[in-house]
């Protein structure tokens, strides 16, 4: 039976225009105090982010607040474009990119990624429908994630997506049955469980005894590979492994990719399938702290280029495609959450500013314990000196603190605060219903112009869909 599609690179995954130096051959940018990369004159290179000169994507925050209300999510598409092209510029030709939709599933953002020619990585039927509506051809879509229900697998099979990553022997059996019933040969990857440590030594996938909810241990990988090789309904193409989240260490990321490829090779040799695709997952980090060094892209490029050369000399690896599924790296810095100060007080000598938004919309600080940078935007003529301010939201929980002790000119009620780096796992990872506040609108900016992409939702609208019980 013919395979649904070939295993060629995903359509539209053309590499970026040639970088000025061969991929991977540029030397790492020198680093200054605080780890920021320096330009040729030793000046820190500004971050590629939405806030520049006190404006969000070139627009005064007060204008955005006036136009769309607060709290508000704003994303700068130009920042996304620069992130995409800077990553593409260092990737060797064997690499493709798929945008991890979960990081920001707003239709306008996903559509933008489709226009940029990336692939898409989805984890649910909802995300499959999102990428379909965003204009991704099915052959550019990959699906990975634990607990895929039959209906979700069926949808992916019916759409004919590029590849489905299988997370367990049980899922393999269900997918095989769906493929058989549908008369399809479904391209698959097997997902290897990794321990979260991305160093080459620790990511020994086959034979590992790590625990966790993602992927399979070495024993199950081998068993699933053997079963898939035997199956007329499955086309085993390779391996998937996600190393670690928010990695800022280019060397560790490269080690993870290399060890995944070598593990996939071992699996292919021992079970007899032709290795065509390796998916190294996402995990490319962004600096959340003021002084954190950014991911060293030239170093990453050099390491990947060196390994791609080694693969080219290996008959079993020559011609493989390697997929990376970044989310955070592509969209994180494009986003800001704009909120207005409602109240300011001093509690036992500590200054506290209470906003009209909080962790119900930006859950990450409470979820992973990492503060985001906050900036007072649009306050003019203040001669006051910056001092530590606790920036908190209106929720009745002590968890609702976006930044404890942010160094700010004391904000007054009515002032605007921008929370930075919220383009990934911001709106989508929030808990908007808690305390029945309005759900913020989302807005994109491109070339200094703004557009509403999702309107604000007022509490009445979800009050209106509720019912008092009428028992049957
Ligand atoms: C399978 C998979 N791919 C890609 C990603 C994106 O990761 P990141 O946003 O850290 O790049 C995730 C995140 O959870 C994931 O689970």
Domain 145-324 top-level CATH class: alpha beta
Res. 378 pLDDT band, cuts 50 70 90:
confident
Residue with tokens 């549908």: 182
Hey, which residues does 315 pair with through a beta bridge? none
Res. 384 pLDDT band, cuts 50 70 90:
confident
Res. 370 pLDDT band, cuts 50 70 90:
confident
Of 395, 316, 298, 397, give the one whose Cα is nearest residue 71.
Answer: 395
Reply yes or no on whether the pLDDT at 36 is more than 70: no
Long-range contacts of 118-121 (CB under 8 A, 24+ apart): 118/12, 118/13, 118/84, 119/10, 119/12, 119/13, 119/162, 119/323, 121/282, 121/325, 121/327
Q: At what angle do helices 169-182 and 150-159 cross, to 10 degrees?
A: 50
pLDDT digits 0-9 by tens, 432-467: 999 999 999 999 999 999 999 999 999 999 999 999
Mean pLDDT taken over the chain: 89
Residue minimizing CA distance to atom 7 of ligand 1? 282
pLDDT digits 0-9 by tens, 320-363: 999 999 999 999 999 999 999 999 999 999 999 999 999 999 99
pLDDT at residue 42, as a whole number: 58
Lookup: tokens for 301: 């490029």
pLDDT at residue 190, as a whole number: 97
pLDDT at residue 17, as a whole number: 33
Res. 379 pLDDT band, cuts 50 70 90:
confident
Contact 70, 312 (CB under 8 A): no
| CA 279 / ligand 1 centre spacing (Å) | 11
Reply yes or no on whether the pLDDT at 201 is more than 90: no
Res. 11 pLDDT band, cuts 50 70 90:
very low
Using CB atoms within 10 Å of the CB of residue 341, give its burial: 0 to 12 exposed, 13 to 18 middle, 19+ buried: buried
Atom of ligand 1 at shortest distance to CA of 326? 11
Reply yes or no on whether the pLDDT at 152 is more than 80: yes
pLDDT at residue 13, as a whole number: 41
- Mean pLDDT across the stretch 175-183? 98
Res. 8 pLDDT band, cuts 50 70 90:
very low
Residue minimizing CA distance to atom 16 of ligand 1? 145
Query: Count of residues for the chain?
Result: 472
pLDDT at residue 7, as a whole number: 35
Lookup: tokens for 399: 């968890």
pLDDT at residue 25, as a whole number: 34
% of the chain exceeding 90 in pLDDT: 81
Res. 41 pLDDT band, cuts 50 70 90:
low
Least-confidence region, from 52-56, 202-206, 276-280, 314-318: 202-206
| CA 243 / ligand 1 centre spacing (Å) | 10
Residue minimizing CA distance to atom 13 of ligand 1? 282
% of the chain exceeding 70 in pLDDT: 86
Determine how β-strand 321-324 pairs with β-strand 95-100. Answer: parallel
- Mean pLDDT across the stretch 232-248? 95
Pocket test for ligand 1, best of 103, 249, 364 (most atoms within 8 A of CB): 103
Residue with tokens 């112009």: 449
Residue minimizing CA distance to atom 5 of ligand 1? 282
Reply yes or no on whether the pLDDT at 202 is more than 60: no
pLDDT at residue 380, as a whole number: 60
Residue with more model confidence, 382 or 307: 307
Atom of ligand 1 at shortest distance to CA of 327? 9
* 144 within ligand 1 shell (Cβ under 6 A): yes
Rounded Cα distance between 30 and 27, Å, is 9
The ranges assigned to domains in the chain are: 145-324, 333-461
| CA 38 / ligand 1 centre spacing (Å) | 29
Pocket test for ligand 1, best of 101, 145, 281 (most atoms within 8 A of CB): 281
Domain 333-461 top-level CATH class: mainly beta
């Amino acid at each position: 039976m013919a395979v649904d599609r070939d295993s060629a690179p995903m359509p539209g995954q053309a590499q970026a225009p040639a970088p000025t130096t061969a991929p991977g051959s540029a030397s790492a940018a020198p680093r200054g105090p605080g780890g920021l990369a320096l330009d040729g004159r030793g000046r820190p290179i500004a971050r590629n982010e939405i806030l520049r000169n006190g404006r969000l994507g070139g627009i005064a925050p007060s204008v955005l607040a006036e136009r769309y209300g607060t709290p508000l999510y704003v994303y700068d598409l130009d920042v996304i474009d620069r992130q995409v092209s800077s990553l593409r510029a260092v990737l060797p030709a064997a690499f493709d990119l798929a945008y991890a939709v979960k990081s920001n599933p707003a239709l306008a953002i996903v559509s933008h990624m489709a226009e940029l020619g990336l692939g898409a990585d989805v984890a649910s039927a909802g995300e499959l429908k999102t990428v379909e509506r965003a204009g991704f051809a099915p052959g550019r879509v990959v699906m990975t994630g634990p607990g895929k229900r039959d209906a979700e697998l069926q949808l992916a099979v019916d759409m004919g997506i590029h590849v489905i990553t299988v997370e367990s022997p049980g899922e393999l059996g269900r997918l095989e049955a769906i493929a058989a019933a549908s008369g399809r040969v479904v391209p698959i990857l097997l997902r290897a469980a990794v321990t979260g440590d991305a160093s080459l030594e620790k990511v020994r996938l086959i034979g590992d005894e790590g625990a966790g909810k993602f992927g399979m241990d070495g024993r199950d990988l081998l068993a699933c590979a053997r079963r898939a090789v035997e199956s007329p309904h499955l086309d085993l193409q390779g391996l998937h492994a996600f190393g670690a989240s928010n990695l800022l260490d280019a060397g560790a990321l490269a080690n993870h990719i290399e060890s995944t490829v070598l593990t996939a090779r071992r699996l292919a040799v021992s079970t007899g399938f032709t290795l065509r695709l390796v998916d190294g997952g996402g995990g490319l980090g962004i600096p959340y702290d003021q002084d954190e060094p950014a991911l060293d892209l030239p170093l990453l490029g050099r390491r990947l280029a060196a390994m791609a050369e080694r693969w080219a000399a290996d008959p079993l690896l020559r011609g493989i495609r390697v997929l990376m599924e970044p989310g955070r790296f592509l969209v994180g810095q494009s986003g800001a959450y704009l909120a207005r100060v409602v109240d300011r007080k001093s509690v036992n000598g500590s200054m506290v500013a209470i906003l009209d938004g909080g962790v119900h919309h930006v859950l990450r600080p409470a979820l992973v314990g990492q503060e985001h940078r906050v900036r007072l935007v649009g306050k003019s003529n203040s001669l006051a000196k910056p001092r530590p301010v606790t920036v908190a939201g209106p929720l009745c929980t002590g968890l609702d603190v976006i930044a404890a002790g942010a160094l700010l000119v004391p904000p007054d009620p009515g002032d605007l605060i921008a929370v930075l780096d919220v383009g990934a796992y911001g709106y989508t990872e929030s808990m908007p219903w808690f305390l029945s506040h309005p759900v913020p609108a989302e807005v994109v900016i491109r070339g200094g112009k703004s557009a509403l992409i999702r309107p604000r939702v007022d509490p009445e609208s979800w009050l209106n869909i509720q019912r008092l019980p009428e028992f049957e």
